[in-house]
Structure 1
Amino acid sequence: MNESNPPVRVLIHGVTGRMGQALLRLAAERDDIVVVAAVSRSQPSQRVVDGVPHFAAAELPGVPPFDVAIDFSLPQGFDAILDLCAHRGAALVSGTTGLEDAQRHALDSAAGRIALLWAANFSLGVAVLSELVERAAAALPGWDCDIVESHHVHKKDAPSGTALALGASAEQGGAQPRYASLRAGDIVGEHLVQFAAPGERIELVHRATNRDIFARGALHAAARLAAKAPGQYRLRDLL
């Protein structure tokens, strides 16, 4: 990374979770990103780990300057990171699920001041799939549209957030999607969108085999979003 293009300064919020740990590990492999702070709910056992300063959520106001925050935490911690980003003029990439309506409205309001992206799925492949689904729905009026999603046995919500997001893309194209959910074994995530008419059908499929794809997608989004003007973005806007 040369001096004219300094690395994007990233804060990871929710670092003790599975996604937070993947973000920390994979960010270290990139030269266009530097993690300047890692934040967890509780007091960290070590202040600096592999050169990255660690902070408790209660210490959030005192973190060093950053360009973009990547948030994979809990709804209870979401308001604080959104407020901090808005206050500092930093971008926000968030995959925190279970947000309440008031928090959704806060996102809409903050988009007038900062660049932000909230997504249920950070797979770049799913981002492309959502665009293909919208285009297919628009091109095939009157066709049946069915979305089948498969996940591991421990996943509780059904349909998945990704299936619902794909359904929203289908609706944008004019389709009326129906949903089916399967829970089996250790499936990371599979989504099939089928368009069918008498005598023919089209299947659009995405299969995830490694959870690192979601962390890589979030890092990709953070690197692109840091330079964007205020507004709400979709992952597919940053491809």
Structure 2
Amino acid sequence: MLKLIVCGYNGAMGKMLKECIEKTSDTVLVAGVARSAQTGTCDGDVKLFHTFDDCDVEADAVIDFSHPGNLDAMLRYVKRTKTPVVIATTGFDEEQNKAIEETSKEVPVLLSHNTAVGVNVVIELVKEAAKLLEGFDIEIIEKHHNRKEDAPSGTAKMLISAIKEVLPESHEVYGRSGRSCKRQPGDIGVSSVRAGNIISDHDVLFCSDSETVTIAHHSQSNAIFADGSIQAAKFLIESPAGLYEMKDILKF
């Protein structure tokens, strides 16, 4: 039985992850960490903690869908206990990304801005399209609910990185306004929408003068991210220390 700790337990993704873990026959949730939780309380059989500095529960893996502010304490915990960690939180700064990389030298870490299997397939398709559709203009449109704090989305950043692997001279342009907004060679246009209760939509447009090719992913439920993160946790417990991505699980 795979014992899991969820960071961001009281958030929307934490609640979805709890449901998915309960439905998965070989996993069990043993603890939850949330800034809104009181250390020492319980939710059924799940022990709750305000911060990982308080956490005295051991597990096989940690899954993090929370906030960048939780990172430092979580990394201290996983290094102290040598626990693999799936980090699916977005919005980290450069210093935090370096801390994640350093931690991965001691324990298995999977860092992904999007743990959905379909999204990671889309990223590979976008990479192939960038190779084949030479000279096409590229635009990315990402849409999320009105509560999302960071923009552009982590998934949009993954798409940009995939395109730049193929087209290293390209560069991202975030939004367009003013008199100097005419497209320049190598532009990757990126637009962000924050409205209503949109879960996560991403469209990548490849446009020429005579045709448009669109590669799209539209999320219908947060369960796709939770299921992918559980799959990632199972992968990590069989892996040596290192920094992994979803593509390592999917064997692209």
Deviation, 1:103, is 1.5
Q: What's the CA shift for 1:15?
A: 0.9
Q: What residue is the counterpart of 1:204 in the other structure?
A: 215
Q: Calculate the aligned-residue CA RMSD, in Å.
A: 2.2
Displacement of 1:127 in angstroms is 1.1
SS state of the match for residue 237, structure 1?
Answer: helix
Is this contact kept in 2: 1:78–1:96, CA < 8 A? Answer: no
Residue 218, structure 1, aligned to residue 233, structure 2:
no
TM-score (norm 2): 0.82
Is 2:74 the partner of 1:115? no
Moved over 4 A (4+): none
CA distance in 1, matches of 2:145, 2:37: 32
- In the alignment, is the contact (CA less than 8 A) between 1:39 and 1:56 conserved in 2? yes
Partners of 1:39 and 1:60 within 8 A in 2: no
1:79 aligns with 72
CA separation of 1:170 and 1:89: change in aligned 2, threshold 3 A? same
1:141-200 deviations in Å (ceiling 9; x for gaps) = 332211112233444543322212211111112173211233444322211111223433
Distance in structure 2 (CA, Å) of the matches to 1:47 and 1:238: 35
* AA at the equivalent of 1:238: I
Secondary structure, in 3 states, of the residue corresponding to 1:41?
coil
Residue 161 of structure 1 is matched in structure 2 by 154
- The correspondence of residues 44-123 of structure 1 with structure 2, limited to 5 A, is 44=38, 47-57=41-51, 60-63=54-57, 65-123=58-116
Tell me the distance in 2 between the aligned counterparts of 1:207 and 1:232.
27
Q: Is the 8 A contact 2:5 2:63 kept in 1?
A: yes
2:3 match: 9
DSSP-derived class of the 1:53 partner: strand
1:28 partner SS: helix
Taking the aligned partners of 2:145 and 2:34, their CA distance within structure 1 comes to 27
Q: Is the 8 A contact 2:16 2:226 kept in 1?
A: yes
Q: Report the 3-state secondary structure (helix = DSSP H, G, I; strand = E; otherwise coil) of the residue aligned with 1:57.
A: coil
In structure 1, give the amino acid aligned to 2:74.
I
Q: Which residue of 2 aligns with 1:124?
A: 117
CA distance in 1, matches of 2:197, 2:37: 32
Equivalent residue for 1:133?
A: 126
* Counterparts of residues 8-47 of structure 1 (less than 5 Å): 8-44=2-38, 47=41
Percent of pairs with identical residues? 33
Q: Matched residues in 2 for 1:106 and 1:192: separation?
A: 31
AA paired with 1:215? A
Partner SS state of residue 54, structure 2: helix
Answer with 146-155 or 76-85: which moved more: 146-155
Structure 2 letter corresponding to 1:205: A
Give 1:219 deviation, angstroms: 1.6
CA shift in 2, pair 1:10/1:172, >3 Å: same
